[in-house]
Amino acid sequence: DTGVSQDPRHKITKRGQNVTFRCDPISEHNRLYWYRQTLGQGPEFLTYFQNEAQLEKSRLLSDRFSAERPKGSFSTLEIQRTEQGDSAMYLCASSRGNIGTDEQYFGPGTRLTVT
Amino acid sequence: RKEVEQDPGPFNVPEGATVAFNCTYSNSASQSFFWYRQDCRKEPKLLMSVYSSGNEDGRFTAQLNRASQYISLLIRDSKLSDSATYLCVVYTSGGSYIPTFGRGTSLIVHP
């Protein structure tokens, strides 16, 4: 399978714990996006990388959230001191081509439940 | 006003019907537009890009109206398999292009 993969697919954690998610993009894609999606809403942009550089970060993203893409390949999203409001589906997408005209390919997502 | 707005529906139509959805955007600096399809509990998948001149792909037609700041998606001859949520995404330039998704419009096609 050469699509975008995410790990884990499901995560249940207690409030206050830290969690880390991984995304492996399509190999030739230089851009990688993270989104959060809750029921009945569209994906909400969190951040994106072009190669290893984090170029944009949503102002909605609190300082408890951090993302890395150390070698321009896979990426990790860490949430520290999780809160119940963090419960959501976390989606990763990758793309190539010119920014703003790129077609994003999404992974299956990581569903986070904070109890 | 939200940056990107969609009627959540659901739009409930019989097989064979023609149905159209709109997606309005508030920022006139928006540059690029796409429609994605999302099945229940699945990830979004690209349906089609929206070009200034409009574009058609089989039963699907997408159009852009810059003057009124909306994009549209028309589905002809609806199939049961078209049942899904249709998300629009708008890229707006503010240094970098930020993608903003609408909340999606739910379509249910019944026999």
H, E, C per residue of chain B: CCCEEECCCCEEEECCCCEEEEEEECCCCEEEEEEEEECCCCCCEEEEEECCCCEEECCEEEEEECCCCEEEEEECCCCHHHCEEEEEEEEEEECEEEEEECCCEEEEEEC
**Could you report the per-residue pLDDT of A47-73, keeping only the tens digit for each?**
999 999 998 888 877 889 999 998 889
Is residue B111 very low, low, confident or very high in pLDDT (cuts 50, 70, 90)? very high
| Residues of chain B with C-beta less than 8 angstroms from the C-beta of A104 | 46, 99
Residue in chain A closest to B43 (alpha carbons) equals: A108
pLDDT at A34 over 80: yes
Residues B44, A106: C-beta atoms closer than 8 Å: yes
Residue of B nearest to A108 (CA): B43
Q: Which chain A residues have a beta carbon less than 8 Å from that of B46?
A: 103-105
Residues of chain B in contact with residue A41, where contact means CB-CB under 8 angstroms, are 103-104
- Average confidence (pLDDT) over A3-17: 97
> Which pLDDT does position A92 carry in this prediction?
97
